[in-house]
Structure 1
Amino acid sequence: MQINSFFSKRYALLLGFSGWFLLFSLLLRIVFLLWQLNDLDLSVFSLLKILGTGFLFDVGVLSFLFVISSLYILIIPQKWIGSTLDKIAIYFGFSLTLLIFVFTFFAEITFWEEFKCRFNFVAVDYLIYTFEVVQNIHESYPLYILIPSMLLITGFIFYYFWKKQFFNLTFSTKVSFKNRFITLLIAIVLMSFYIVFVTNSNAEWSKNRYNNEISKAGIYSFFAELRNNKLDFKTFYSSISDEEAFQIVRDNLQEENAKFLTNDFSIKRKIKDSLSSENKPNVVFILIESMSASFMSEFGNEEKITPFLDSISNQSLFFKNLYATGNRTVRGMEAVTLSIPPTPGQSIVKRPNNSNLYTISNVFKSKNYQCNFFYGGDGYFDNMNAFYGGNGFDIYDRGRGSILSDAIKTTRHNIDDKEVTFENAWGICDEDIYNKMIKVADEYHQKKKPFLNFVMTTSNHRPYTYPENKIDIPSGTGRNGAVKYSDYALQQMFAKAKNKPWFKNTIFVFVADHCASSAGKDEIDVKNYQIPAIIYGQNLIKPQEVTKLCSQIDVFPTLFGQLHWSYTSNFFGTNVLSNNYKERALIGTYLKLACKTNNNVMILSNQKNNSNYTWNSVSNHLKVVPMNKSKLNETIAWYQAADYLYLNAKLK
């Protein structure tokens, strides 16, 4: 009894902190439950499952804290307990840990507001790009309220523990070496259990995504994603033989004018157009940040926030049934540049060994084009400069001192201060980046050099700030304003380009990188992957509405078809207007990989659990249907073949 008493007193602060953490985690879970109440599949059983699973993960977080604390208690000599050194170490350690945990609770709320999920790989990425993230937080949230609130809460909790004598008990009690060693051993065993046997996937027990996300713990999710940002397809997903996978993919890619160049595991083929003469206009490609199809009147929006895109869509090749491959900018870049499905884990844009790949620049350069990439922020973010610089593009960005690797043989141009009228956390406003693009277009027109100008925009992103007095929605007031300004900037760019001598020989392509939000209660919220895609060329492109189901990966192959180009393709995308085109859309969420064909959606899980659904486009709901083996194998084939080509350097 005496040993137990001594034991508990020395660990009083640790146990008290654990109780506080479990209570606050429960309260946060309840906040999320109330937040998404209308979207949850809630019953007594599911509520108990959410809370029980959440408790399991909360204990997992504490197991790591117990190891660190128990190790300190073990190694400090008995005679130093309660000494000045002991007090400094414990006061500092407790205060810092408490502040970190309070900050985490605040961060989880803001992260949920943006992404409707616990910390995931996005949070891991944000840890790397501190400048953009800190600036974005500063511009998006009232830090003069948040920071004092966090410090006040931390101070109040600290005072409570001090007032209730937790510190005095910890400083006044000695525990035998045996008990300290046993405590540490138990903590290590518990932590090891979580490391080996408990993964974030264990929280995915429901078909309702919100049920699963609320079951998780933010801190545990963060470190789980830190460990699992690279996934081997065959290890984590259902697979078939490589022979079968490539046969299925090659059957889907077969066109009347395509001839495969080898018989091995490859999709490389020669596309031969029936016309002997090729058109070689300039191409201005705009990848628009977060431009959901649902923002446009053409897709039913009644707020009139995209008047330019709505007007030009009627004069263009307009894709009304096209889907993004993912929910992040790098996924959109990967899809349009490499024309490849989203491989599991990190985007290829952010992976090692991603230079000298076969991209759209290879096709353009074979036609003697100059390829330029424009970004209004620092292209170091998300590894954009390394990817585009390593794959045939000259770089124009707003660099803040970051440099390209010596291995990347390209030219980088910094956007000068005098060229900037407005800038926020993510970069210069869209009008400024378009002005820079037009200036470069003028230069290459003077040189009589056809160009591909690839622009990545930034204005349609939190904190939703842009130059004042441009539109009728005040800057910084929300997404609708950012969408309307993005559309306004496109209109201004187009108006300026019309006065240029190169305009009549230029094709403009507008495509979103992803939707403004991809979160929903289903495993994959299909509607939140639908994006607009527009190809405009005055007297160059015949206006047409394309209703075939297709993907971002098909945009450039379709453009090449419109230009009657013969070229070598190593792309998974095909010409949507081809007679042999087979409708499908490939979409993913980093861990979930899906293939949509008509209203059927097959989803592969990293636990090798696969689900087959029908999708109701009106209710935007997935309904489970019996497994279709043929569709399952086709879905596996797309992703397995893409993963194989990357891992075996066959995208080079």
Structure 2
Amino acid sequence: MLNKLFPSRFSLLKTFIVIFLTLSFAVRLILFAWSFSEADTSVFNLIYTFLLGFLFDIGTVSFFAFPYALYLLVMPSRFHGSILDKVVTYFGYSLGLIIFLFSFFAEITFWEEFKRRFNFIAVDYLIYTNEVVKNINESYPIPLLVGIILIAYVILLFVTKKRGSFSNTFKSTTPFKSKIFPTLIIGGIMAFFWVFVQNQDSEQFSNRYNNELSKTGIYSFFAAFRNNELPYVKFYKTIDENKAFTILKNKLKSEKEQFIHPDKHEILRTVTNSDSLKTPIKPNVVFICIESLSGKFLNSLGSSLNITPNIDSLANNGLFFNNLFATGTRTVRGMEAITLSISPTPGRSIVKRKNNQGLMTIGEVFRKEGYNRTFFYGGDGYFDNMNTYFGGNGFDIVDRGRGFLLDASITTKRTNIEDDEVTFENAWGVCDEDIYNKVIKEADKTYQDGKPFFDFVMTTSNHRPYTYPEGKVAIPSGTGREGAVQYTDYAIGEFLNKAKSKPWFNNTIFVIMADHCASSAGRWELDVQNYHIPAIVYNPNLIAPQNIDKLCSQIDIFPTVFGLLNWDYTSNFFGKDILKMKAEDERALIGNYRKLGLLKNNKLMVLNEQKESDFYQWNKDDNSLNKIQNDTNFLDETISYYQVADYLYRNDGLKIKE
């Protein structure tokens, strides 16, 4: 049977398939050993994990094998071993080996960062090659890795020749009929996987690590490439649209908020915060979005690392939200939640989608109050479509880019961070101290013009390769995440010390919050604790210190800030004023690009893209999730948040309405 499946003309193809299966098994074994303490190691689940992985490996290699099998089928016997045959064969075989070796090494580095097989993040990284290549070059010994890949390639090529796979292929006289069967088998496997098998079919376990281990990295990459946008109604559980809007409006309504068109499929409403006792105020607002600042790093949230003294001091002297959760696992997801105050939509963040300009963002509220609005980023804002998104929604841009905004229709001003303003720079941009110095410089200019300003500042230093100016903190640059966190904290302290000397400081509110946690990986499909982030509103003259332990979300921060400023405004936001939030309204929305969750009362409902849902009891002490009996009302509420958000985006319901 084996000779029929792999006749002599298919000898090299058989070797190619065996090498792939062997290498893929080795990578899976390495990742399993790496995650041994987190994975489910019961005998049955372990065997099932590797068996599923083997099946996905077979499906994956069929996509690579079929083009060559088709070539072997149509190439007449008289041309076997010809110069053309040898050139095509050596080139195809070498290219395949290099792709496999590179992808396997890349998988290991990707797992180190995200504890996942390739996903939509890897797809995005393929687009933004400049930042990613620089990051890899600064994080890993590239010459050594390339050398290892080349050595491995030479060894495999040598072994293949010693086995006689090339000579058997070139000297073969296998007739056309004998080549039909293996070609059909390989093509049939490929077609079956293309039509019937989805990447998530490997997710047969309650343990997330086993689900990831059962996948094949290359297959996961192309699955993410095909499915980076997921229309909610096509992939997720839905309810009647009228019911979804009714449920959500009941969650959003309050005495201070009135829907403008209560009978329409929209959530546009007026929010009233002022009265005879609360006069609106217009301080400057500086929002600092900190890269990857997990709550677990702060002593004020239970850590004993002692690496965030400045942020901990701000938490003790400001309005500190200690039970707040990020909506997602990436910077653009945090930006979406903060600026639009919206539930996370499945697939790509709205920041990176089409039709994402002219939206009712928090910037529009500031515009109507007469504020200058500026987005600051230490790298090139082309990355992750940030400049197009912020520029298309009325923000001026300050970044390290060299080009123009991508969309010619965007008319906002762009200012470059010049070389003489940079003291340190890595793959992701200038260090935090440099971006803060630029913020101060631009704030001085705006203050002189007599206009209030709203600045959205995105930091970069707390990101691999974790490099920063030497001699600033105790932990040496480039040694790991904790050093980057310590430097991030140091830079904030320096920024505020400099700002205190400015005439605009006393009339400026500083809002500090993470974009997401340093890691979202865990054994659960949504690892709740890995969404816990800090948020602080600080001004010693305007904000009284207070610890707020209400369960809340990133989307709630700016509705809360607008409440503190006593502003009346028009809102399209899903977020609520945390300080006015009733106990029954406390909730957090968490998700990744596929899983969507609602957390309330230590219970978590999770929706997935197979129109399924799971209901869990979250144990805060050990961060475990235990399945419980479904709650229909809870499920409908969860669906309403996400179904309505998707509906509004796709039907221009997030656009500014004058």
**TM-score normalised by structure 1 residue count:** 0.98
Structure 2 distance, partners of 1:6, 1:629, is 52
Q: Which residue does 2:544 correspond to in 1?
A: 542
Structure 1 distance, partners of 2:202, 2:330, is 23
**TM superposition shift of 1:409:** 2.2
Q: Which amino acid aligns with 2:204?
A: W
Structure 1 distance, partners of 2:167, 2:609, is 48
**TM superposition shift of 1:74:** 2.7
Deviations 1:574-607 (Å, cap 9, x if unpaired)?
1011154710000001111000002111111111
Deviations 1:557-579 (Å, cap 9, x if unpaired)?
00000000000000000101115
Structure 2 distance, partners of 1:569, 1:7, is 66
**TM superposition shift of 1:76:** 2.9
Change (3 A) 1:617 1:580: closer
Q: Which residue does 2:194 correspond to in 1?
A: 195
Structure 1 distance, partners of 2:535, 2:636, is 29
Equivalent pair of 2:387/2:405 in contact (CA under 8 Å): no
Q: Helix, strand or coil for the counterpart of 1:38? A: coil
Q: Which residue does 2:294 correspond to in 1?
A: 292
1:560 aligns with 2:534: no
Which piece of structure 1 moves more, 599-608 or 479-488?
Answer: 599-608
Deviations 1:335-365 (Å, cap 9, x if unpaired)?
0000001100000001111000110011000
Structure 2 distance, partners of 1:595, 1:362, is 28
Structure 2 distance, partners of 1:358, 1:451, is 18
**TM superposition shift of 1:273:** 1.8
Q: Which residue does 1:166 correspond to in 2?
A: 165
Equivalent pair of 1:7/1:175 in contact (CA under 8 Å): no
Structure 2 distance, partners of 1:5, 1:189, is 16
Q: Which residue does 1:56 correspond to in 2?
A: 55
Q: Which residue does 1:79 correspond to in 2?
A: 78
1:648 aligns with 2:651: yes
Q: Which residue does 2:625 correspond to in 1?
A: 622
**TM superposition shift of 1:78:** 2.9
Q: Helix, strand or coil for the counterpart of 1:103? A: helix
Question: Equivalences for 1:376-525 in 2 at 5 Å?
Answer: 376-401=378-403, 403-525=405-527
Equivalent pair of 2:318/2:543 in contact (CA under 8 Å): yes
Deviations 1:481-515 (Å, cap 9, x if unpaired)?
00000000001110110000000000000000000
Structure 1 distance, partners of 2:445, 2:242, is 49
Question: Equivalences for 1:253-264 in 2 at 5 Å?
Answer: 253-262=252-261, 263-264=263-264
Equivalent pair of 1:66/1:187 in contact (CA under 8 Å): yes
Which piece of structure 1 moves more, 216-225 or 606-615?
Answer: 606-615
Change (3 A) 1:312 1:273: same
Question: Equivalences for 1:5-404 in 2 at 5 Å?
Answer: 8-262=7-261, 263-275=263-275, 277-401=279-403, 403-404=405-406
Q: Which residue does 2:616 correspond to in 1?
A: 613
Structure 2 distance, partners of 1:99, 1:385, is 36
Structure 1 distance, partners of 2:189, 2:529, is 42
Which piece of structure 1 moves more, 351-360 or 58-67?
Answer: 58-67
Structure 2 distance, partners of 1:269, 1:439, is 37
Deviations 1:414-467 (Å, cap 9, x if unpaired)?
111111111000000000001111111000000001100110000000000000
Equivalent pair of 2:376/2:399 in contact (CA under 8 Å): yes
**TM superposition shift of 1:4:** 5.2
Ranges in structure 2 where 5+ consecutive residues have no aligned partner: none
Equivalent pair of 2:4/2:181 in contact (CA under 8 Å): no
Structure 2 distance, partners of 1:602, 1:590, is 16
Q: Which residue does 2:532 correspond to in 1?
A: 530
Structure 2 distance, partners of 1:377, 1:6, is 53
Q: Which amino acid aligns with 2:240?
A: S
Which piece of structure 1 moves more, 451-460 or 42-51?
Answer: 42-51
Q: Which amino acid aligns with 2:211?
A: N
Q: Helix, strand or coil for the counterpart of 1:39? A: coil
Q: Size of the alignment, in residue pairs?
A: 651
Q: Which amino acid aligns with 2:161?
A: W
Change (3 A) 1:488 1:464: same
**% identity of equivalent residues:** 55
**TM superposition shift of 1:400:** 3.4
Q: Which amino acid aligns with 1:638?
A: Y
Equivalent pair of 2:321/2:548 in contact (CA under 8 Å): yes
Structure 1 distance, partners of 2:323, 2:459, is 23
Query: Which of residues 633, 639, 642 is equivalent to 2:642?
Result: 639
Which piece of structure 1 moves more, 188-197 or 49-58?
Answer: 188-197
**TM superposition shift of 1:51:** 1.1
Change (3 A) 1:375 1:579: closer
Equivalent pair of 1:254/1:580 in contact (CA under 8 Å): no
Q: Helix, strand or coil for the counterpart of 2:542? A: coil
**TM superposition shift of 1:547:** 0.5
Change (3 A) 1:506 1:92: same
Change (3 A) 1:278 1:60: same
Structure 2 distance, partners of 1:413, 1:561, is 32
1:594 aligns with 2:597: yes
Structure 2 distance, partners of 1:38, 1:148, is 32
Structure 1 distance, partners of 2:92, 2:524, is 41
Structure 2 distance, partners of 1:30, 1:439, is 53
**TM superposition shift of 1:383:** 0.5
Structure 1 distance, partners of 2:542, 2:364, is 22
Q: Which amino acid aligns with 1:303?
A: L
Q: Helix, strand or coil for the counterpart of 1:314? A: helix
**TM superposition shift of 1:178:** 3.1
Structure 1 distance, partners of 2:121, 2:571, is 32
Structure 2 distance, partners of 1:335, 1:292, is 17
Change (3 A) 1:534 1:5: closer
Q: Which amino acid aligns with 2:461?
A: S
Q: Which amino acid aligns with 2:296?
A: S
Q: Helix, strand or coil for the counterpart of 2:255? A: coil
Equivalent pair of 2:274/2:280 in contact (CA under 8 Å): no
Q: Helix, strand or coil for the counterpart of 1:399? A: coil
Structure 1 distance, partners of 2:645, 2:48, is 37
Q: Which amino acid aligns with 2:271?
A: I
Equivalent pair of 2:4/2:182 in contact (CA under 8 Å): no
Equivalent pair of 1:255/1:578 in contact (CA under 8 Å): no
Structure 1 distance, partners of 2:593, 2:103, is 23
Equivalent pair of 1:330/1:349 in contact (CA under 8 Å): yes
Change (3 A) 1:403 1:364: closer
Structure 2 distance, partners of 1:585, 1:158, is 54
Q: Which amino acid aligns with 1:202?
A: D
